[in-house]
Structure 1
Amino acid sequence: MNKRIIKDIVGNLDIGIACVALMVLIVLTFLGVVMRYVFANPYVWLEEVQIALFLWVAFLGSSAAFRFKAHVEIGMLVERFPQRVQILLSLFIYAVVSFSLLYLGLKSSDMVAMFIRTNKSTSVLSIPSALIYGVIPVSAALMWINYTVPFLTGLKESLGRMKGEGV
């Protein structure tokens, strides 16, 4: 396989897993509704699987959203300031987002470690809770990487423009 193809596959693995999880979530939810309301025979295990799939979709989707700059931002406000102020605001925003993602990653890692220590699992299917919630620290790290790389590239470009303009 070509290195570029492998890089694209690995680089979009979060999207692929999130898409599969979303499709399974939709199918299972539909089947759950049919079984509950048409056949009066609900799946008892469905809620556990839905929660796990929803977590995986939300957190892996967030990772991809950072990569494609699809999160909400207030660019219009920042763009009204001079270039120097824009860079300072960008640095401040980067620090806040990075701190938040670091905090999320550390606290969720602690939670997963506790699940591993206590051998906690779901009550019906006995799915290890660490498997379900393990996506959170992984996604926090991916979100930080997907936020940092374009940020540093943009910062370098902004500083280069400032230097070229003699500001």
Structure 2
Amino acid sequence: MRRSYRALHSLILWLGVTVFGILMLNILISIAARYLGLRITNIDWVEETSRFLFIWLSFLGAALAVERMVHIRIDFFAQLLPARPRLLLEILVYTAMVVFAAVVTYEGILVTIRAGDQSPVLSIPMSYAYLALPLSGVAIVLFGLRILLGLIARFARGEGFAASGPGAMGAEVE
């Protein structure tokens, strides 16, 4: 299980770095063309490609944020709780997150399959852009389940909440 987890992490990270690199290259081309006054007949493809890449980068980043437990959260009231009830609250939150991510992933698959339109400039199927949702959704579900199992194991051992951050709360589950 640890091997497949590392493979998924590496895949998402590799895709994210690749998408980021291509996005930066696209933006550089766009800036250079405008700054140098180049009269490229059709530079609209750069903007549309950048938009699609940004969508992909956002969803891949969300998956990595869940995996590293650094996603946005408001925990003002949770911090007021004692360790054990706070851990129980974390279990509830991650359960809700995994269920929500599973529903969004399912709906994302349906949208990707049903997408019949094409992008206006590149004339590629819009399903390529929409595919970011189910792919990252699967990763979020798997990463979330791993964390959730770690939280449940801590609760079963009678432990309380540990400090938040990457690797906290016993996410290392075999």
TM-score tier, shorter chain, comes to 0.7 to 0.9
Structure 2 residue 95 is matched with structure 1 residue 95: yes
One-letter code of the match for 2:88? L
Written as runs of structure 1 = structure 2, the 5 A alignment for 1:57-96 is 57-75=57-75, 77-96=77-96
1:90–1:10 CA distance, 2 compared to 1 (3 A) = closer
* Aligned AA (2:135): V
Distance in 2 between residues matched to 1:79 and 1:155, nearest whole Å:
19
Contact 2:87 2:151 in 1 (8 A): no
- SS of match in other structure, 2:18: helix
1:122 is displaced (CA, Å) by 1.4
Number of the residue aligned with 1:25: 23
Gaps of 5+ in 1: 163-167
Q: Which amino acid aligns with 2:98?
A: S
Pairing 1:79-158 to 2, within 5 Å after superposition: 79-115=79-115, 118=116, 120-158=117-155
Q: Following superposition, which runs of at least 4 residues in structure 1 exceed 6 angstroms of deviation?
A: none
| Contact 2:16 2:61 survives alignment (8 Å) | yes
Q: Quick one: distance in 2 between partners of 1:156 and 1:31?
A: 50
Report the equivalent of 2:171: none
Which whole-Å CA distance do the structure 1 matches of 2:75 and 2:155 have between them?
15
My pick for the range that moved more, 54-63 or 95-104, is: 95-104
* 8 Å Cα contact 2:105-2:133 kept in structure 1: yes
SS at match of 2:48: helix
Deviation at 1:9, TM superposition (A): 4.7
Report the number of matched residues. 157
TM-score scaled by length of structure 1: 0.80
Greater Rg over alpha carbons, structure? 1
Measured in 1, the distance between the counterparts of 2:104 and 2:74 equals 22
1:86 Cα deviation from its structure 2 partner? 2.1
